[in-house]
Amino acid sequence: MSIREIKKFNDFLLYQKTKPVEKVTAEIETLIRDMKDTIMVNKGIGLAANQIGVPLKAIILDLESRNREGDILPGSKGNRFLVLFNPKIITRRGKQIIEEGCLSFPGIYLKIRRSRWVKVTGMNEKGKLLDIEAEGILATVFQHEIDHLEGKVFIDRLPLWKRWKIWRQIRRILIKTDKIQDSDR
């Protein structure tokens, strides 16, 4: 079991585009295991590789995870995890607003507007190409994680004035945290 540190909102890696996964190698298999361990320990719904410092196009969804309302995600034929390399949204429809959180922005939950239904393509951990249709919370999770791979975070989906307000809150939290750490020294 190898749990990796989740990069927080102030890490430059979260804002960089990731590179494609060419094939599933031993290193990639280790990455998958580490992502599974990391998402379980942190009780996340989805995780992108760059959130743990690996700039590759890889995401994992924990299909047994529960959202904040306690709803379990729709499962995938008995498999707990869904791993996709080089995922892309090829079609989207409808609109919905769902409250989202992010492991890289602990304690921050925001209502974000996204597509209600998406069709995603990508390669699974066996190297097979898949097309997946998702709606509701699962569609949101796909969109959220694929955004990470493009160097975008969920705050980027807000209007400019809301983004500014959130970043001010984050700065205040950082200042308080720094003062607490300074007083401990």
Task: Let me know: does 96 contact 136? Beta carbons within 8 Å.
Answer: yes
Amino acid at 55: P
The whole-number pLDDT of residue 133 equals 94
The whole-number pLDDT of residue 177 equals 61
The predicted model gives 102-130 an average pLDDT of 94
Least confident of 108-112, 142-146, 165-169: 165-169
Please provide the CATH number assigned to the domain covering 12-158: 3.90.45.10
Residue 8, number of CB atoms within 10 A of its CB: 15
CA 26 to chain centre: 23
How confident is the model over 10-69, as pLDDT tens digits? 899 999 999 999 999 999 999 999 999 999 999 999 999 999 999 999 999 998 876 555
pLDDT band at 180 (very low <50, low <70, confident <90, very high): very low
Q: How many whole angstroms separate alpha carbon 45 and alpha carbon 33?
A: 16
Length of the chain as a residue count: 185
Q: Which residues are catalytic?
A: 145
Q: Is the pLDDT of residue 134 over 70?
A: yes
Residue 80, number of CB atoms within 10 A of its CB: 13
Among 41, 67, 61, CA closest to 49: 61
The predicted model gives 175-185 an average pLDDT of 53
What does pLDDT average to over the chain?
88
The whole-number pLDDT of residue 26 equals 95
The whole-number pLDDT of residue 33 equals 96
pLDDT band at 78 (very low <50, low <70, confident <90, very high): low
For residues 75 and 178, the model is more confident at: 178
Q: Is the pLDDT of residue 155 over 80?
A: yes
Q: How many whole angstroms separate alpha carbon 13 and alpha carbon 17?
A: 8
For residues 39 and 175, the model is more confident at: 39
Domain ranges within the chain, ordered by starting residue: 12-158
Judged on CB neighbours under 10 Å (0-12, 13-18, 19+), 160 is exposed
